[in-house]
Structure 1
């Protein structure tokens, strides 16, 4: 990115919680914590001082399919950032005392997550939608695993998943591509390419089919005046023919927040929710994975309005495939492209886009190529995607709070098409 004096460099690893087994679920996230606790070359304190003196920022995150470590630095410090990233990824000490201390940190993090209703509901949604596969597991893992994972467990996870074909080094900003390639060779050139024979015989590698089975989980709190509900259908994988039509459909359905008021261009669903005051907020989500996805809505409402909200949602879902017009699609195209461009604002977002796309597609699709694919879509494409997702399909639902008025699974199933 010409003219930029800062850069983001990072490592995207094709491994997350869905690659884990029931026994080691939580290992990827635990390693994210341990990466910053020191290596033979750098103590935790020295690592913090080195980053601070560079004016840099070092961070990491774990998702269901990816683990990411990245650094934001001045352009002159890219080589130092790459040295640090390689050191913490490949040479983490995994000190037993540090592991034990970190257990309490992760358990506190779990409590914070469980107090955030949306994250709690979406975790339950995955658990019921993918109850027979790895996508149903949480990223943090169960409390029992957090308390029992050992240094050997974590080391085995690194040896199994931190392999060259599963890793992408990406950079954006004030950085030369040739220089980045040289640094990648220097610091990551020794990463193993494949598992040894013993590892291949074992059960360490676990990537089962992301099979959507649907389901229903309800956690009722008598004292809670609000209900948090997520309703989802099987969406698309990143490479599905429905991937881009569903992005447009998500834009078409949109979001509603009572505090912000009704938008004149909102979908019929959002307008009906607003007119009937059925919810404080409702948002549409479209989550893609390698081989499956979740498309649905998340709503927050008062307990006495749950039944009315679900009647409104199912009524609109039933007619979604028929009511999309050419004008709707053209308007959604403009909005979707604007959202995508705003999502590429800044070195870190561009670096994220590169890393994720290389893991997903094997190459980076430029914004121009993506926009061309969007422009080629018609209302028929969006209607076909809506029909494929909603018509006579099982759903997954997770609800927490004052939900005694929530209709049965069968009622929702029978009234959604």
Structure 2
């Protein structure tokens, strides 16, 4: 017993001596670097402020009174808005540069469906590139590629958006393409079946999208008595029952001028954008006699929901609050608070966990 204890003490003493030697060497090396830097006239040292330090702002503007914005930050870019005869609002903001972004926002989403047609808005958004009365889906894709544009679309619970990012000289062409896609879509039955297969595969892959799965369950838990609580992509079992007529009815009820905003940003002319929108979105009516679905304010129900998945390595937790809506006076103040708090994405910082894709 004593021999083991003696050997243990000897090993511990040896390790301690190694640590002391390493620490002394590190200090000597650091001292040599400082001496070399000080003696070398070609090298200068400067203490950099920390990432969130106020020092750069203080050196430029001094101490500002509480709530005051520095003068250089008070600049607002010129903004133009025009309302067309069919109710479409055309907005533009000129930003010098070589590229432009043209987007169409429709005030309609999964909220405006019912339990029998859940998933219609998502399918309609996916069908936008599947061909129009004047262009096949191949021709449509080629025209987008020919101008070097990048297409993007997104479906949400209350808003659906379509956008093209292109060279500033092709902004008018981008408006033409978006107008053709949204106003003259053929909604072919065969293409719809292909899109439904894509959506079905997305449903199967939901187990790898942890953030999306978490958000969908939070909405269901908070608004389970309203369509806001239903999935954006619809119910997996109901997906196969949707037909072209469901998409046409949804388009007729929601894709109207009063629900649409066209926005162009970049080195663009507001007058030219307005002319292009007038020409390419003229077929959309200002309003419709079909009443919008689920416009009543849903009841927010605070609750606790736990889902168990034994195949997951780590836990995914979210705490959510009833936030201001897009028309609330505090909406943009709330967005500012969100940016101040910042974010952390697991797929960018810890992608090895749960095989995040």
> Same fold, TM exceeding 0.5?
yes
Q: Is the 2:95–2:265 contact (alpha carbons within 8 Å) kept by the matching residues of 1?
A: no
SS at the partner of 1:49?
helix
SS at the partner of 2:202?
helix
Structure 2 vs 1, CA of residues 258 and 75 (structure 1 numbering), >3 Å: closer, same or farther? Answer: closer
Distance in 2 between the 1:46 and 1:210 partners?
43
* 1:246-305 superposed Cα distances (whole Å, 9 cap, x missing partner): 4455456555689999xxxxxxxxxxxxxxxxxx99xxxxxxxxxxxxxxxxxxx99xxx
Q: Is the 2:111–2:293 contact (alpha carbons within 8 Å) kept by the matching residues of 1?
A: no
Q: Which position in structure 2 is the counterpart of 1:135?
A: 228
Distance in 1 between the 2:155 and 2:265 partners?
21
2:187 is aligned with 1:94:
yes
Q: What's the offset of the Cα at 1:52?
A: 1.1
Greater Cα offset, 127-136 or 237-246: 237-246
2:306 is aligned with 1:218:
yes
Q: How many residues align?
A: 260
Q: Which position in structure 2 is the counterpart of 1:407?
A: none
* 1:105-155 superposed Cα distances (whole Å, 9 cap, x missing partner): 011122233321111011100110111122211110001222111000000
Structure 2 vs 1, CA of residues 2 and 32 (structure 1 numbering), >3 Å: closer, same or farther? Answer: closer
SS at the partner of 2:326?
coil
Gaps of at least 5 residues in structure 2 are 1-93
Structure 2 vs 1, CA of residues 171 and 259 (structure 1 numbering), >3 Å: closer, same or farther? Answer: closer
C-alpha RMSD of matched pairs (Å): 2.7
Q: For 2:321, which of 229, 233, 237 is the aligned residue? A: 233
Distance in 1 between the 2:347 and 2:238 partners?
41
Q: Which position in structure 2 is the counterpart of 1:12?
A: 105
More strand by share: 1
Structure 2 vs 1, CA of residues 219 and 150 (structure 1 numbering), >3 Å: closer, same or farther? Answer: same
Distance in 2 between the 1:62 and 1:178 partners?
29
Q: Is the 1:130–1:214 contact (alpha carbons within 8 Å) kept by the matching residues of 2?
A: no
Q: For 2:284, which of 166, 169, 191 is the aligned residue? A: 191
Q: Is the 1:12–1:169 contact (alpha carbons within 8 Å) kept by the matching residues of 2?
A: yes
Q: Is the 2:179–2:277 contact (alpha carbons within 8 Å) kept by the matching residues of 1?
A: no
Distance in 1 between the 2:168 and 2:344 partners?
41
- Which structure 2 residues correspond to residues 2-401 of structure 1 after superposition, within 5 A? 3-196=96-289, 199-200=290-291, 205-243=293-331, 246-247=334-335, 249-250=337-338, 254=342
Structure 2 vs 1, CA of residues 93 and 178 (structure 1 numbering), >3 Å: closer, same or farther? Answer: same
SS at the partner of 2:166?
strand
SS at the partner of 1:228?
coil
Distance in 2 between the 1:75 and 1:207 partners?
38
* 1:342-400 superposed Cα distances (whole Å, 9 cap, x missing partner): xxxxxxxxxxxxxxxxxxxxxxxxxxxxxxxxxxxxxxxxxxxxxxxxxxxxxxxxxxx
* 1:11-38 superposed Cα distances (whole Å, 9 cap, x missing partner): 1101111121111111111011111010
* 1:143-202 superposed Cα distances (whole Å, 9 cap, x missing partner): 122211100000001000000010011101121011111111111123111213xx34xx
Structure 2 vs 1, CA of residues 75 and 223 (structure 1 numbering), >3 Å: closer, same or farther? Answer: closer
Structure 2 vs 1, CA of residues 49 and 205 (structure 1 numbering), >3 Å: closer, same or farther? Answer: same
Gaps of at least 5 residues in structure 1 are 262-279, 282-300, 303-417
